[in-house]
Structure 1
Amino acid sequence: MSTDTGVSLPSYEEDQGSKLIRKAKEAPFVPVGIAGFAAIVAYGLYKLKSRGNTKMSIHLIHMRVAAQGFVVGAMTVGQDGSR
């Protein structure tokens, strides 16, 4: 028993590039947060060799907290700017 009415809905296929651009226009501070996160992680990895007597786990915790703080800050600023 088929209930095909012959009406087809157009399927909208969106590629990754246009989806990223659309999302960046909707929330412009999200790409800023991603870029800041990447920059802090890169800086933390660069400073990994010269961490001195600091344990590896403490260094990684500090790097994670800084990166998460930047992302949360960017999201907060983005939310306040959209109101």
Structure 2
Amino acid sequence: MAPNSETVLPSYETEDSQTSKLIRKTRESPFVPVGIAGFAAVVGYGLYKLKHRGDTKMSVHLIHMRVAAQGFVVGAMTCGVLYSMYREYWAKPKP
């Protein structure tokens, strides 16, 4: 039996890099990078404020920063869902 030029198993996309996957996902849902950037901003702000937190306990500071980061990501996800619903149901041209 000669090997067939078509393989039975599906080939995986080995040419896609992490950057190209991120760009593709950004086009599909534009609020993903907003959530990532907001999370990074909250973490950076939390690390900056860690030095100047005053009398606040470390655990309380970390809990506040975790809640802020999660809130930003959940807010970005909610906006993304609302945007996709708008794009699919209201902005879609009527046939």
Question: Shorter-chain TM-score: what band?
Answer: 0.7 to 0.9
Q: Distance in 2 between matches of 1:50 and 1:10?
A: 53
Q: Equivalent of 1:15, from 11, 14, 17?
A: 17
Note if 1:30 corresponds to 2:32.
yes
Extract unaligned runs of 5+ from structure 2.
Answer: 86-95
Deviation at 1:58, TM superposition (A): 0.4
Q: Deviations over 1:54-75 (max 9, x none)?
A: 1001000000000000000000
Aligned residue pairs, count: 82
Deviation digits for residues 28-58 of structure 1, max 9, x if unmatched? Answer: 1011000000001100110111111110010
- CA distance in 2 between partners of 1:30 and 1:36 (Å): 10
Going from structure 1 to structure 2, the CA distance change for 1:26 and 1:49 (only over 3 Å counts) comes to same
Partners of 1:59 and 1:10 in 2: how far apart?
A: 48
- TM-score, normalised by the number of residues in structure 2: 0.76
Q: Which aligned segments of 4 or more residues in structure 1 are displaced greater than 6 angstroms?
A: none
1:79 to 72, 78, 81: 81
5+ long unaligned stretches in structure 1 = none
Residues 18, 52 of structure 1: CA spacing in aligned structure 2 closer, same or farther, 3 A cutoff?
Answer: same
Q: CA deviation at 1:10?
A: 6.0
Shift of 1:11: 5.2
Q: Which residue of 1 aligns with 2:49?
A: 47
Q: In structure 1, what is the Cα distance between the partners aligned to 2:83 and 2:51? A: 39
Structure 1 length as normaliser, TM-score? 0.86
Q: 1:11 to 1:74 in 2, by over 3 A?
A: closer
